[in-house]
Structure 1
Amino acid sequence: MPFFFIWHLEDNVYENMQESQEVPVSNHLDEVIAAVSDTGKRVPNKLLQTALFQPPREKLHLCEEKAKSFLSNREYQQAIQELVRCVALTRICYGSSHWKLAEAYVNLAQGYLQLKGMSLQAKQHAEKAKEILAISMESPYHDNTEVFKCSIELFYTTGRALLALQKFKEAMENLLKAERLSKEMLQCGNIVKEEWVEIQARIKLSFAQ
C-alpha cells in the first residue's frame, strides 16, 4: 500500500467521524423512500409496492445505469437526481463505512461539476467521500485495487472542484496525487496501460485549464 497515499488520505480527517457499518432501517427510511420513488410523480400503489420491495442492489444498478444515460445525454439535473438515489441505495446495500459509498459520493461530486456554479457542492461531496474512504481503509476486507481506483477519481474530482473555486495550489496537489497514484498502480500491474493513458489524459486536460 503506497505510504504517501495513506498519509494524504488520513490528513484532515476528523477523529470523531467513525460510523457503524450497521444501518438501522429507521434511520434511513427517508432514504429508502427517496431512492425508490420519483419526487413529484403520482405512482400507482402496486408499482410503488413493487419498487419498495425490489432488492436494493437491483434498484442501485438501475439507478446507476439511468445516471450514466442522463450524463451521456447531458441531462445533468436528471443525472443528479439518480446519483443522489445511488448514494442512498449504496448506504443501504453496503453500510456507512464502505468504500463503495465513497465511490457513490465521488460520482455525485462529478455530476455536480457538470452544472455551472455547483463546484462548492462538488467539493463538499468529495470531502465526504474522503472521510468515508479513510474509514474504509481500516477494514481488512476491502479490495485494494478498487479502493485505489476510487482514490484516483477522488483526487481528480477534488482537484477539478478546487480549480473551479480558484484554489489553484490545493487543486494542483490533488491532481498530482491522482497522477502519482495512477502511475504506481500501472507499475504494480493493477491497471492496464490503456486505462492509465485515459486517466493521464483527463488529468493533463485539467492542468491545462
Structure 2
Amino acid sequence: MSLLPRSGLFCASQQSCESGLDDESLTRFNMNSSASSGGSLQEADSTIVTQKEGDVKSYSIMTPAEKLSVCERRMQSLAEREEYDGCIKELVRCLALSRLVYGNEHFTVVEAQSRLAKAYLQYKGWPHQAEEHASQALEVMGSSQQGERVSYLKCCLSAHQTLGSATLFLGNLSKAESSFQEARAIMGDIVAQEAILDTDRLDTEYQISTNLAR
C-alpha cells in the first residue's frame, strides 16, 4: 500500500483526531463510542478475560500492559473497518502506554511511533505530524534495545519511507531523497534475508523508485 496520503482525507479536521486524548482518555476508553464497534469491541472496552477462567477485569483497573493489548486490538479492528480517526486515537494511546510499560528507548516504543507516523500521513494526509514522529522513531531506534532482526529492519524501512514521503510532500527534496535511499538499502537487507514476499518486495521497490524519480 502506498504511503502517499489518501486524497479524500485532506479536508479532514485535525482537531477531530486529536481531541479527547487528554490524560483521562489514556486511562479509560470512551464507552459511548463502543456502540458502533461491534460486540467484540464492546466487550474489550469494558472487560478483559485473563487466562484464569472467570477472572474478568474492568479496563479501569487493568495494568498498563493489559491496556496496551486492548488498545492494539482496537487499533487493528478500526483500521480494518477504515475508521481512521478512531484508529489514530488508539495509536496515540498505544504509544503512550508503550512508553509507560517499556520506557522511552525500547523497540516496542519505536514500533508504536513508526505506526503512528505512517497513519498520520496515510490516513489523514498530515505530513508535519508524520515527519515529526518518523524522525523521533528513527532517533530512538539508534539507541533502542533492538528487537528481532527482521522486525527491526521492517520497522526501520517503514519509518524511512514515511519520512521520505512526508518530506517530499513538504518540498524538502534533499531530505526525502536521503530517506528513500536509506529505505532502498534496508530493503536490500530484508531481501537478502528472504524475509519478504515477492509481491510485497516489488510493491515496495516500485514505491521507492517512483519517489526517488520525482
- Deviation of residue 194 (structure 1)? 4.3
In the TM superposition, what is the alpha-carbon distance from 1:205 to its structure 2 partner? 5.1
SS in 2 for 1:106: helix
- Asked if structure 2 preserves the Cα contact closer than 8 Å seen for 1:159 and 1:175, the reply is yes
C-alpha displacement of 1:129? 0.7
Q: Which residue in the other structure is 1:125 paired with?
A: 133
- The 5 A counterparts of 1:15-164 are 33-38=24-29, 47=46, 50-113=58-121, 114-116=123-125, 118-136=126-144, 139=145, 142-164=147-169
Gaps of 5+ in 2: 1-21, 34-45, 48-56
Cα pair distance change 1:208/1:63, threshold 3 Å: farther
Q: 1:123 to 1:35 in 2, by over 3 A?
A: same
TM-score if structure 1 supplies the norm length? Answer: 0.69
Asked whether the 8 Å contact 1:186–1:193 carries over to 2, the reply is: no
What secondary structure sits across from 1:135 in the alignment? coil
Alpha-carbon distance in 1 for matches of 2:190, 2:204: 11
Look up the equivalent residue of 1:74 and give its one-letter code: E
Tell me what 1:185 maps to: 190
* CA–CA distance in structure 2, aligned partners of residues 38 and 206 of structure 1: 39
Partner letter of residue 167 of structure 1? N
Moved more, 58-67 or 122-131: 58-67
- The yes-or-no answer on 1:170 pairing with 2:175 is yes
Task: Provide the C-alpha distance between the structure 1 equivalents of 2:147 and 2:137, rounded to a whole number of angstroms.
Answer: 16
Whether the 8 Å contact between 1:183 and 1:196 is mirrored in structure 2 is no
Q: How far did residue 91 of structure 1 move?
A: 1.4
Stretch moving more, 181-190 or 162-171: 181-190
Is contact 2:78–2:86 with CA below 8 Å preserved after alignment?
yes
Partner letter of residue 38 of structure 1?
F
Query: TM-score w.r.t. structure 2 length?
Result: 0.68
Hey, what's the Cα distance between the residues in 2 that align with 1:59 and 1:103? 17
Aligned length: 172
Separation in 2 of the partners of 1:155 and 1:176? 9
> Can you list the C-alpha shifts for 1:126-156, whole angstroms capped at 9, x where unaligned?
11111211111xx4x6422221111101101
Structure 2 equivalent of residue 16 of structure 1: none
1:190 CA drift (Å):
4.1
Between the two proteins, what is the percent identity of the paired residues?
27
Separation of aligned partners in 2, 1:80 and 1:181: 27
Name the stretch that deviates more: 33-42 or 161-170: 33-42
Match of 2:40 in 1: none
